[in-house]
Structure 1
Amino acid sequence: MGVEFDGGVLTAVTTLLGAAFGAGLIAVVHGLRKRPDDPQSGAGSTGLLQRLRQRVPQDWTRRRVTVAATCGVVAGALTGWPVGALLTTAALLTLPGLLGPDRQAARRTEQMEALATWTEMLRDTLSSAAGLEQAVLATADIAPAPLETELRALATEVRAGRPLPSALRAFAEAVDDPLADVVVAALLTAAEQQARQLGALLGELAESVREQVAMRQRIDAGRASVRTGVRVTVMVTLGITVGLVVFNRSYLQPFDTAAGQGVLAVIGALFAVAFGWLTSIGRIAEPGRLVSTATTVEAGGTR
């Protein structure tokens, strides 16, 4: 038999827990996204921080985390459920990406198309008897928009005197794309071993990238129904939950107890796992990288 909380005490506890959770979440996200690496720290801690940064979604800005935490505190105070505050905060952070368009996939497709365009530009520039370094510099000035930042950084480093192979590896690390690694690997071979027929190879690579883009678009179209099903499932679940809280609060009275909060936490965790699984089956598995950060060590030292 559950023990009922006093209303005022539960509201105060909910507010305090929600505020503490929100403040902690804001601090963690801000620290992971903004804090520079400490050059004096050990390699192990730096690697751990890097892995944590990679796991923080890019759209989890400090403003978004603050809004989500504030709404969580308000929801917890209105319902008197500490677990409800945590679930509301988590939902506001994760559901927009789940219910909205797959911007990450769209950006990846645009990046792949830009990579194919740049590869063709390199091929055409090399066909006019320009050297590889000159071709990279010439094409970087008219770079496709999705790769403009990375290519301009590549040109800047080359003009500053950095060896082309090292600059290309840094470019591959910045783009962080397996297909870009394939192109960079061909350019590295040409830069370090004076490979012949580079123009023809770049043409074949550009054609291969465009075929990958077309295949990806067909897969995305086929999986659109999966994402639609996920959105419908999530919206119906949330609609029923909000409707019960607003219009039939007495039906949810068992959650006002300590045991009820524990059950609510389990239910929330199960829904989170289910929604995460539904999202994962609608994603395309990416191949492994060819040019990794481990290969960025130069002959004369490290970057």
Structure 2
Amino acid sequence: MVAVSARLLLVLLLGAGFGGGVWLLWAGLWPTEPVELQEPRLAKWWRHNRPPRPRRRAAGAVLAALAALVVTGWVVAAPIAALAAWSLPGLLGRDKEHERAVARIEAIATWTEQLRDTLAAAAGLEQALLATAATAPPSVRPQLATCAERISRGQRLPDALRELGDDLADPLGDLVVIALTSASGRQAGRLGDLLAGLAGSAREQALMRTRTASSRARIQTSVRIVVATTLTMAGALIILNRPYLAPFDTATGQLVLVLVAALFAAAFGWLRRIATFTQPARLLAVPTPEAAR
């Protein structure tokens, strides 16, 4: 009985080994499509929400946490102060990302108009790109100079335009690049009219963003007043009337303090969300079936 069991176990092991060998042989000989590595969610979030100077922001958060812990003696005051020092400058300061986006849109519109005027002077598309690369607005001049260098080295015009769209990384830039790519493959007699329409749309979009930002500036001013009043009152109570804050020294008081801080954080996060422009999806960022293969 023992010999039968041992023989059966040996047969099972040999069968499993043979099956595993066949599978490894099939996996090694049969070509498979490469698996695209996806970016982790945390890395993607950090790439979209990274502050301009993260090291300086982190140092300020550490100093604020230490100061809050020393002055108040509350354990929960340290993470609350660190979070406030990290997030409030981006919420209450100037919206530099909006300013850069508007400047980029206006620069693309100006360059599109220059390209239209150069093409109207009976110049070819490659010559127009080379001519406008040096006179384009500063916001897009490096990308256009790189594109002109690629064309001068002999790169095909559609490929150079595709890489230009990747360098610009802007939905409006994608529209211009698509129009130029279509014109490079065949005669496009109405390319000038199309570029003029794109430039006009860009001007309108920049104007709309500027008007919206002006209307939201009043909300931002109100937020600054609320934050300044709250911080001033809290600092005055800690310095001038510390016994008034004695209930927060208990565990229940610490929990209430965390709840109040969470409500403030939720309110400020909501304000930041409604003040953020939603970028339209890029057309050239969608992979084609040929590129996926």
TM-score with structure 2 setting the length: 0.77
Compute the displacement of 1:275 (Å).
0.9
Moved more, 227-236 or 202-211: 227-236
1:120 equivalent in structure 2: 113
Moved more, 253-262 or 209-218: 253-262
Q: 1:210 to 1:187 in 2, by over 3 A?
A: same
2:164 corresponds to 1:171: yes
Q: Secondary structure at the match of 1:46?
A: coil
2:72 corresponds to 1:79: yes
Compute the displacement of 1:45 (Å).
4.8
Distance, in Å, in 1 between the alignment partners of 2:130 and 2:140 is 14
1:291 equivalent in structure 2: 284
Compute the displacement of 1:297 (Å).
7.4
Instruction: Quote the RMSD (CA, aligned, Å).
Output: 2.6
Distance, in Å, in 2 between the alignment partners of 1:163 and 1:52 is 36
Q: 1:52 to 1:279 in 2, by over 3 A?
A: closer
Counterpart pick for 1:247 among 240, 258, 264? 240
Alpha-carbon contact 1:119-1:202 (below 8 Å) kept: yes
Q: Secondary structure at the match of 1:82?
A: coil
1:216 equivalent in structure 2: 209
Alpha-carbon contact 1:109-1:213 (below 8 Å) kept: yes
Partner deviation per Cα, 1:85-116 (whole Å, 9 max, x = no partner)? 11212112211122222222222211111111
2:254 equivalent in structure 1: 261
Could you tell me which amino acid in structure 2 is paired with residue 113 of structure 1? Answer: E
2:135 corresponds to 1:142: yes
Alpha-carbon contact 1:123-1:203 (below 8 Å) kept: yes
1:129 equivalent in structure 2: 122
Counterpart pick for 1:186 among 156, 159, 179? 179
Distance, in Å, in 2 between the alignment partners of 1:143 and 1:102 is 25
| Identical counterparts, % of pairs | 44
Q: 1:214 to 1:55 in 2, by over 3 A?
A: closer
Distance, in Å, in 2 between the alignment partners of 1:298 and 1:128 is 36
1:32 equivalent in structure 2: none
Distance, in Å, in 2 between the alignment partners of 1:190 and 1:47 is 39
Compute the displacement of 1:121 (Å).
1.0
Q: 1:214 to 1:75 in 2, by over 3 A?
A: same
Distance, in Å, in 2 between the alignment partners of 1:195 and 1:243 is 70
Q: 1:270 to 1:168 in 2, by over 3 A?
A: farther
Moved more, 269-278 or 217-226: 217-226
Moved more, 218-227 or 48-57: 48-57
2:90 corresponds to 1:108: no
Alpha-carbon contact 1:168-1:188 (below 8 Å) kept: yes
Alpha-carbon contact 1:140-1:151 (below 8 Å) kept: yes
Counterpart pick for 1:55 among 41, 48, 53? 48
Q: 1:149 to 1:81 in 2, by over 3 A?
A: farther
Could you tell me which amino acid in structure 2 is paired with residue 102 of structure 1? Answer: D
Q: 1:139 to 1:257 in 2, by over 3 A?
A: same
Partner deviation per Cα, 1:41-71 (whole Å, 9 max, x = no partner)? x744535465134233241421221232222
Alpha-carbon contact 1:116-1:210 (below 8 Å) kept: yes
Considering Cα pairs closer than 8 Å and 6+ residues apart, tell me whether 1 or 2 has the greater RCO.
1
Distance, in Å, in 1 between the alignment partners of 2:155 and 2:39 is 25
Distance, in Å, in 1 between the alignment partners of 2:151 and 2:290 is 16
1:94 equivalent in structure 2: 87
Distance, in Å, in 1 between the alignment partners of 2:38 and 2:130 is 37
